A = this chain, B = another copy of it.
Amino acid sequence: MSQHPPSLRTTIRRKADRGHYNAPSIHAIVDAAFVCQIAFNASGSVHCLPTACWRDGDYLYIHGAGNSRLIDALLAAEAAVSITHLDGLVLARSAFHHSMNFRSVAIYGQFTEVTAVDDKAAAMHAFLEHVSPGRSALVRAPSPAELAGTRILRLALHEAAAKIRNWGVEDSADDMDIPVWAGVVPLGLRASAIVAEAGCADFPPPTLPSSLQEEPSP
């Protein structure tokens, strides 16, 4: 696990107390994500698209189909990736001081392709374990043709910054007597009752990742 000083474009200037540049903070936010947002330029336009993601070591991984235009575009130029977890609505006594609690990561750099078959198999294994720990041992593994038809890219987490707000209301002293409920509504991505395919209801239910089981912090 490596430490990297903030770059010019990852240094958080506004509300700098919310910025974190250490790898454990960045990794924890990435590990709680199933989807990232990727900004890139292609065909003369800027784009912002979501895609599934996972982490292995100091890299963020994504995958796509063999004919994916996103994959082609990301190999052609630098990208910026954002991961954001909305952790709460912060309800103040004044409209102006309302806020949100969140954990986010911004990552900059050039995606590169994972091409060796063994590396691709290991990456897809890590992806499935991220989605449901232990599941790789239970399902049919990718065939050679499926692996060949899947393109896998990774982006180093070296030029990255985390931003976190995880506290309560910050109202002005003049507003403290306004008779209204103020506080935090904690939010989090949660699983509800699983829905089995026909014939599957009697098999052991899937293991869910820990990020879906924790209660959000206020």
* Contact in complex: B37, A78 (CB < 8 Å): no
* Contact in complex: A131, B52 (CB < 8 Å): no
Q: How many copies does the complex hold?
A: 2
Instruction: Name the interface size band of chain A.
Output: 35 or more
* Contact in complex: A82, B131 (CB < 8 Å): no
Q: Is A182 an interface residue (CB 8 A)?
A: yes
* Contact in complex: A196, B183 (CB < 8 Å): yes
**Contact partners of A106 in chain B: CB under 8 A:** 47-49
**Contact partners of A45 in chain B: CB under 8 A:** 9, 78, 80, 108
| Further 19 A-B residue pairs, CB within 8 A, beyond A9-B45, A39-B40 | A13-B69, A14-B65, A34-B100, A35-B84, A40-B46, A46-B46, A48-B48, A49-B82, A50-B104, A52-B100, A95-B128, A98-B128, A98-B131, A135-B180, A176-B199, A185-B191, A187-B191, A190-B190, A192-B215
